[in-house]
Chain A
Amino acid sequence: MTPESATANHAAGADGTARRLAFVCPRFAEGPTVGGAETLMRALAVRAARRGRDVTFFTTCARNHFTWENVLPEGERRSEGVRVRYFRVDAHRDVGAFLKVQDAISRGRLVSRAEEDLWLRNSVNSAALCEALRRDADRFDRIIAGPYLFGLVEAVSRIAPGRTLLAPCLHDEPFAYLASIREMFARVRGCLFNSDPERGLACRLQARPAAARDAVVGLGLDDFASDPRAFASRRGLAAPYIVYAGRREPLKGTPLLVDYLAAFRTRTRRDVKLVLTGSGPVDLPDALRPHVIDAGFVSERDKHDIMAGAAAFVHPSLNESLGIVILEAWLARTAALVRAASPVLRHQCRASNGGLWFRHYPDFEEMLVALLEDEALRRALAGAGRRYVLERYAWPAVEKRLLDALDA
């Protein structure tokens, strides 16, 4: 622990309120091409600003999370009461060296400290951002940085660790076991977690000290109206359907969902469709192609209508720190079906009684058949999920948890 983090308590105002906040995230969530972590960081910043805090958001000029090309202009803009400062991503990344070490880590190979440093150095970094933050660091009572898996966030955690809160969006993955990541968790003032299982994982992997100012905050949602018949009638869809919303990629489990639906249709001879919203390619067998509806990017209203009309929202991902789309599905009065191997999604379903969790295909088949056949079951699960979201993830509750954590 650094001397600063050991001694400083920079709760700024005389009343202990952390008024001046800096948020740091490699991308600022504008438009549809961002992930959950970016959405979370932006939403927390905006909410803090609405509650009277002075918020500056430090981010990069990149939008694409594969190329990290600087496409946005540098400088400063305002967005929903937040001052957003854009800085260029460092140009001299050795992507080859980065990918080589990243691949080794992903495969579970033990890497040396030198390799870890090489990996962090060639990850997404912005010397300009760090320099600006270092210059202004004394202005801020708290620096909130995340997600954990970027060289930029690791570098920021060193600037004023005693005032830094990490919003890690932590997953149980090989990167979380690295010594440099463990040191970052030990260095910072505290963490803002999205869920209890994420906090539990951090305690297990990162040996969080009891004195750490950790809190489970999460992301808030506003209630919305939705029409369960709108999507089906617009598409002329008579068969029941299940839905997945989000990025389509192996890490999110979409290939598994496609395989399961193919097996389900073959084995049960039930005409069940799959509706996908979001981005990314999806590899479909020819026989399944007519039964998968790729709605692509849709408006929030359309997404909620699609969710509302589904027999179930299926979330096949393993690594989540909070299943935001499941919360939305519950608000749309739809039951959830998730993988048992995902501690966070399973926890959400168990805590809310809003969904079921499958270990493998046989479980999936039994559960989906039960949901398709039993409307009362669907209603009961969806109703329990909705009550859980309104109670725990309504913005007033989340804002209170956020502000308490910032001021602690």
Chain B
Amino acid sequence: MHDRIFEIGAEGVDTEALVARIRARVADKTERGAYTDAAVARAERTNLAALRDDDEFMGFYLDCLRDAAFVDIGDFEILERRRTLAPLLVALKRLIWKLLKFYTYRLWSQQNQINGMLVTAVEAMETRYGERLRRLEARLNTAAPGDGNAPGHDA
């Protein structure tokens, strides 16, 4: 059950406050890794173009990307839900996994390497261009009106 996130006051609902409260809740859940699954990544495909103006979301998206970039190639527990012949089926699955692992390990480790490099490159670009933009904005803000050095000023 969802916690109640607002109270209706005598003046009705304040959407600004409500959205702020929901965003705080989302930030908290993001911190706890609640949105790093594939369903969210898939859902965000079409939202990416709108993200360029949202610094906060770019940070969130990079976090998700970092979490999702690396394919888990480690061993995992192999289970069988069917009761009949369960030990035999588990043994068969283990054998298949061992054979597959031999061939796929190289492939997945290369994929992980590529994913890791891509994430690092995107993060580096974000940091670098973000910093450059901040410096430019600071320069613009400090430039006096009519200052011939201000970017975009026509002579």
Chain A residues proximal to chain B, CB less than 8 Å: 250, 253, 255-256, 259-260, 262-263, 266-267, 318, 339-341, 349-350, 353-357, 359-363, 366-367, 369-370, 373-374, 376-377, 380-381, 383-384
For the side of the interface on B, what is the size category?
A: 35 or more
Chain B residues proximal to chain A, CB less than 8 Å: 1-2, 4-6, 8, 12-16, 18-19, 22-23, 25-26, 29-30, 34-35, 37, 39-40, 42-47, 50-51, 53-54, 56-57, 60-61
In the bound complex, what is the Cα–Cα distance between A363 and B16 (angstroms)? 14
Q: Are A380 and B40 in contact (CB under 8 A)?
A: no
Residues from chain A with a CB closer than 8 A to the CB of B53 are 341
Q: Are A361 and B35 in contact (CB under 8 A)?
A: yes
In the bound complex, what is the Cα–Cα distance between A376 and B13 (angstroms)? 10
Residue on A nearest B35 in the bound complex, by CB: A362
In the bound complex, what is the Cα–Cα distance between A362 and B13 (angstroms)? 22
In the bound complex, what is the Cα–Cα distance between A355 and B14 (angstroms)? 10
Majority SS at the chain B contact face? helix
Q: Are B35 and A353 in contact (CB under 8 A)?
A: no
In the bound complex, what is the Cα–Cα distance between A262 and B42 (angstroms)? 9
In the bound complex, what is the Cα–Cα distance between A374 and B3 (angstroms)? 10
Residue on B nearest A256 in the bound complex, by CB: B46
Residues from chain B with a CB closer than 8 A to the CB of A356 are 15, 18-19, 22
In the bound complex, what is the Cα–Cα distance between A267 and B46 (angstroms)? 18
Of B35, B43, B57, the residue contacting A260 (CB under 8 A) is: B43
In the bound complex, what is the Cα–Cα distance between A356 and B15 (angstroms)? 6
Residues from chain A with a CB closer than 8 A to the CB of B2 are 369-370, 373-374
Residues from chain A with a CB closer than 8 A to the CB of B42 are 259, 262-263
Closest Cβ of chain A to B41, distance in Å, is 9
Q: Are A374 and B4 in contact (CB under 8 A)?
A: yes
Nearest 6 A/B pairs, CB to CB? A263-B43, A380-B13, A256-B46, A341-B50, A263-B39, A259-B43
Residues from chain A with a CB closer than 8 A to the CB of B15 are 349-350, 353-356, 381
Q: Are B46 and A255 in contact (CB under 8 A)?
A: yes
Residues from chain B with a CB closer than 8 A to the CB of A263 are 39-40, 42-43
Residues from chain A with a CB closer than 8 A to the CB of B37 are 267
Q: Are A341 and B4 in contact (CB under 8 A)?
A: no
Q: Are B19 and A357 in contact (CB under 8 A)?
A: yes
Q: Are B46 and A376 in contact (CB under 8 A)?
A: no
